[in-house]
Amino acid sequence: MEAIILQILNGLDKGSAYALIALGLTLIFGTLGVVNFAHGALFMIGAFCAVTLSRILTLSYTVVDETKTDFLGNPAKVDVPYVYDLFGQATGDAIIDWAVPLSILFAIPVMMVIGFVMERGLIKHFYTRPHADQILVTFGLAIVLQEVIKYFYGANPIPTPAPQAFTGSFDFGAALGFDPNLIIYPYWRIIYFVFAAIIIGAVFAFLQFTTFGMVVRAGMADRETVGLLGINIDRRFTIMFGLAAAVAGLAGVMYTPINSPNYHMGMDFLVLSFVVVVVGGMGSLPGAVLAGFLLGILESFASMREVLAVLPGLNQIIIYLVAIIILLTRPRGLMGRKGVMEE
């Protein structure tokens, strides 16, 4: 029982990341009809937004501190971050400590702008071209984006810790009445899951309850008719692309404390996220979210020691295996609609 709860929890954070990326992919596919292979790169850029902000916050100048000496006996040089001057030392430290959550504010406008530029500058010209061309051009874009990041940030993973308040673990077992220390779960992962749930809820609420969302949903169902109503659907779709980029970016920002970001993390996630989208059903938002969590949890169950003893390596292939089985038995995925991407 404890083991099962633990695996479900373990699956949640990866599942959250899959779900967020798959949600963005589906938004783009559903509204614009474009298969975006560069979406993983957006996730990666989001993660590097966090890296960038924490670097900006720790930008410092050097002063000579007469009260201390270094190991040679000379007066010590101390790096003083500029934020100290602006906010004082205590607040400054807190700001640096909270760099990752603060990056959310930083990443939203950055990702939106990147999304707008991408859509207006490139994707727009591919609406009428075959899906194969869309895959190819966004694949090329993904390579370019990841190489640019590699050029500026290097090829090695960059550790970006969570605020100190969240570095500990929560003893789920004790809270649920089991023996202590059986189900230990890091705080940050809980936060990641809650954060993902809020974002997903916000996107759904936005689509469900605003006029803007209503038009977009109508556009997903029947683009031409909505266009005929004289509604400027193109502008709204551009905004949707920005939104999807922001969702992927935020997923990346918050993921940095779980996995140190490197330039190819986007592609690693993209391959799986595509599988998630296809399993959930191309163009179905609830399907994408459901499949994201489902596959995340399945993956974590497959990595249990008891399972691996029977079927070694199952954790490596479980997602692909499930995808193949689902696609062959339910060709439209779990919640796919008729008429989306068929022949």
Partner 1 sequence: MLGLEKKDFQLLLVVAGLTLLAPFILNPFPESSGMAQFNAGYPDLMQRFVIFGIFAIGFNILFGLTGYLSFGHAAFLGVGSYGAIWMMKLISLNVIPAIFMGIVVAGIFALAVGFITLRRSGIYFSILTLAFAQMSYALAYSVLTPITGGETGLQIKSTDRPLLSNLEEGEIGRANLFGMDMRASFELNVGDWLFTFNAGYYIAAIAMLASFYLAIRIFRSPFGMMLRAIKSNQTRMSYTGLNPRPHTLAAFVISGMYAGLAGGLLVAMDTQVGPERMFWTASGEVVLMTILGGVGTLIGPVLGAGAIKYMENILSKINKDVLHQWFAFLPDGLEDFVITLIYPFIGKGWHLTLGILFMLVVIYLPGGLVEGGQRLARALRGKKASDEDGPKASTEPAE
Please say which residue, 256 or 284, places its beta carbon nearer to partner 1.
Answer: 284
The dihedral built from the CA positions of residue 30, 33, 38 and 42, taken in this order, carries a sign that is: negative
- What residues contact 173, with CB distance under 8 A and at least 6 apart? 2, 179, 180, 181, 182, 183, 184
316 part of the interface to partner 1, by CB under 8 A: yes
Residue of 4, 175, 205, 317 interacting with partner 1 (CB under 8 A): 317
**Least Cβ distance, residue 134 to partner 1 (angstroms):** 9
**276, two tokens:** 């998630």
- Do the bridges between strand 169-171 and strand 184-186 make them parallel or antiparallel, or are there none, so unpaired? antiparallel
323 part of the interface to partner 1, by CB under 8 A: yes
Output phi, psi for 57, to 5 deg. -65, -30
Please say which residue, 32 or 196, places its beta carbon nearer to partner 1.
Answer: 32
- What residues contact 105, with CB distance under 8 A and at least 6 apart? none
335 part of the interface to partner 1, by CB under 8 A: no
**For the range 276-280, what are the long-range contacts, defined as Cβ-Cβ under 8 Å and sequence gap of 24 or more?**
276/18, 276/19, 276/21, 276/22, 276/319, 277/22, 277/25, 277/26, 277/29, 278/323, 278/327, 278/333, 279/322, 279/323, 279/326, 279/327, 279/333, 279/334, 280/22, 280/26, 280/333, 280/334, 280/335, 280/336
- Sites for partner 1 among residues 53-112 (CB under 8 A): none
331 part of the interface to partner 1, by CB under 8 A: yes
Interaction pattern, residues 137-176, with partner 1; x per rule: CB under 8 A: x-xxxxxx--xx-xx-------------------------
**Least Cβ distance, residue 93 to partner 1 (angstroms):** 36
**Least Cβ distance, residue 300 to partner 1 (angstroms):** 16
Stretch that binds partner 1, among 83-91, 101-109, 246-254, 326-334 (CB under 8 A): 326-334
Please say which residue, 50 or 278, places its beta carbon nearer to partner 1.
Answer: 278
| Helix H or strand E encompassing 108 | helix 99-121
Residue of 95, 112, 135, 334 interacting with partner 1 (CB under 8 A): 135
Rg (alpha carbons) of the chain, rounded to whole number: 22
Percent helix, strand, coil in the chain, to 5, is 70, 5, 25
- Sites for partner 1 among residues 295-314 (CB under 8 A): 312-313
| Count of residues in the chain | 343
Please say which residue, 112 or 122, places its beta carbon nearer to partner 1.
Answer: 122
Please say which residue, 196 or 220, places its beta carbon nearer to partner 1.
Answer: 220
Stretch that binds partner 1, among 76-84, 85-93, 124-132, 185-193 (CB under 8 A): 124-132
Interaction pattern, residues 19-38, with partner 1; x per rule: CB under 8 A: ----------------x---
| Helix H or strand E encompassing 67 | strand 60-69
320 part of the interface to partner 1, by CB under 8 A: yes
Q: Check if the beta carbon of residue 126 is closer than 8 Å to that of residue 61.
A: no
- Sites for partner 1 among residues 266-285 (CB under 8 A): 267, 271, 274-275, 278, 282
**Least Cβ distance, residue 236 to partner 1 (angstroms):** 24
343 part of the interface to partner 1, by CB under 8 A: yes
Please say which residue, 63 or 321, places its beta carbon nearer to partner 1.
Answer: 321
**Least Cβ distance, residue 2 to partner 1 (angstroms):** 27
d(CA 255, CA 248): 11
**33, two tokens:** 């009809």
Residue 312, amino acid: P
* 69 three-class SS: strand
- The residues that touch partner 1, with contacts defined as CB under 8 A, are 35, 122, 125, 130-133, 135-137, 139-144, 147-148, 150-151, 267, 271, 274-275, 278, 282, 312-313, 316-317, 319-321, 323-324, 327-328, 331, 341-343
